[in-house]
Amino acid sequence: MNVEQFTENVVTIIKKIPPGKVMTYGQIAKCAGSPRGARQVVRILHTMSRKHELPWHRVINAKGEIGLKSEDGYIDQKMMLEGEGIVFHPNSKIDLTIYRYDPPQ
């Protein structure tokens, strides 16, 4: 699979994550056709979220945590997710058994 196709797949998958649900970077990469492409998903989110109006806040890490390091970005993402009804545990994690979105194949 070429980079353009993978990128297009990632953008399509992220756009389909419904409000109140999340997907992980690795889960998106696998669904897009590159199981080891989680870092590329991060890059795509970073460079294309505005251009494609992606619901970037619905993408988290495999531990159920917000992956952003900046305090402002972390707070923004957490507030957006909570605004969609997602509940964080006291350890700042999201229960993926409840909130993970599994798109139809």
Q: Quick: pLDDT tens for 32-84.
A: 999 999 999 999 999 999 999 999 999 999 999 999 888 899 999 999 999 99
Query: What's the pTM value of the predicted model, to 2 decimals?
Result: 0.93
Question: 45 exposed, middle or buried (CB, 10 Å; 0-12, 13-18, 19+)?
Answer: buried
CA atoms within 13 A on the CB side of 77: 25
**Which residues, 6 or more positions from 15, have their beta carbon under 8 angstroms from its beta carbon?**
52, 54, 55
Architecture of the 3-99 domain: Orthogonal Bundle (1.10)
Cα–Cα distance for residue pair 87/32, rounded to 1 Å: 27
Q: Please calculate the CA angle 31-50-92 and round it to the nearest 5 degrees.
A: 65
